Amino acid sequence: MTLINIFSYFVPISKTLGLTYTYMDFINWKNTYIEQLTGIVQKKFVQEIRIIKHLYVNGSMTSGDICQHLKISAPKSFSVINELISLNLIEKQGLGQSNGGRKPDLYGLKDNLFFVLAIEMGTYKTKMSIFTNNNTSVSGPHLYTLNLLNNDIKTVDQLYDLANKLITSSGINPVKLAGIGISMPGLVNSKKGSNYTYLDFGEPSLKEILEKKFKRPVFIENDAKAIALAEQKFGLAKGKRDVLVIYLDWGIGLGLILNGKLFRGTSGFAGEFGHIPIVENGELCHCGKQGCLETVASGAAMSKLVKEGLTSGKSLNVDIEDLDKIDPKLIVDAAISGNQFAINTLSEIGMNLGKGIAVLIQLFNPELIILGGRISEAKQYITIPIQQSLNTYCMKHLHDQTSIVVSETGQSAGIMGAVAIVMENLFENIIKSGSK
């Protein structure tokens, strides 16, 4: 029995029961019973899913490209492609480059084949957006006041309610929702789906709680790592092998792309760059240690310096009624407008940050460092002091080989990171199950 026969059999049964199923449900059904499929059908199904995933991650490709990347023969590639076309899943999308002779056909996923819910949870706010399988937003991003300060199960319930309302108002067929990606700060173990800093309720994990509510796969990742994935799939790290992505906001995050892959470490906690002790007997950090880099080089440290300066008579040339409303954006905007106090403060933050980056360069020898987050929007006001610091603290032959650039993804980095989480993980369980 071919895959088309199985799918054709599956759909009429569901209609008889008064249900409406799409191919995504068929995939979920086959994932449940994949080990009961015969070897040939199982192998062909996994090849089918591998092609769907490959086109989802990389966009439209020629049959030859698919053969090369997935290491399958040309006849096998054409056979599976034709079956996917018959299932109305992929289509021809123009012509590729020719090396002489006829230009090859490009194949890509049909638009609106499935959808992804992307959630960026922050300490103070939450963003959500729904994307098609071709990474076009169909709803959002929408900003909510939901935050991680109220660290209890009610936050999870509120998150689900907001997401459910967004799914309903978007007009998409909820059956086509393939997965949910969540980017959030804290110590995140993406394999277990747990965040040991926020919304940690022991067992079941946060991932399991949300999957029970959504009845769809949920993937959770640390915000800095998610942003690194976004840079790799959509931004300046695309096609690069060794890249460090530093996220500069209230805190300092680090995502490491080493040898072309996101590096997570044994427990998923690699990249806690902001909590490297850098000041002897320094200020107490919220992590419990003294003198962490975050105490002298983060948005929180920058805001503290500005508050102290304002109380001693300095000015940002803007009306500030409440010192607690001072945030990194306000300071960066003041620097860009030419305020010398803000520029000097950014310079101090940049020099301290450069000292930490010097350590990273000498450890990892990256080809590229990408700066993202609110503070990176200061551009030369932060990059120049970082370079000055590198001249002092880093070996010349190393930092001369490393380019430092400001991210081009801007404020969409976090939400695109949530999309990238799904891109990396969707269908992986099926592929692994069928490869055993």
Predicted confidence at residue 61, as pLDDT, reads 87
Distances (CA, A) of 186 to 136, 182, 225, 404, 416: 28, 12, 11, 25, 18
Task: Tell me the two tokens of residue 79.
Answer: 């056979």
Q: Where are the alpha helices (DSSP H) in 59-197?
A: 63-70, 74-86, 153-170
Q: What is the rounded (10 degree) CA torsion for 327, 332, 334, 338?
A: 160
**Percentage helix, strand, coil, to 5, in the chain?**
50, 20, 30
Q: Where are the alpha helices (DSSP H) in 312-339?
A: 328-336
Distance CA 82, CA 42 (A): 18
Predicted confidence at residue 20, as pLDDT, reads 47
Distance CA 202, CA 62 (A): 46
pTM of the model: 0.84
Residue 178 φ then ψ, to 5°: -85, -30
* 3 state DSSP class of 151: coil
Report which DSSP code applies to 267.
Answer: S
All domains in the chain, ordered by first residue: 3-110 (1.10.10.10), 115-227+416-425 (3.30.420.40), 238-408 (3.30.420.40)
| Average pLDDT along the chain, 436 residues, taken 10 residues at a time | 42 41 52 54 77 87 86 84 84 77 85 92 92 90 90 91 95 88 92 91 92 92 94 93 94 94 90 90 86 93 92 83 83 94 96 95 95 94 96 91 92 92 84 61
Distance CA 170, CA 113 (A): 15
Distance CA 179, CA 422 (A): 7
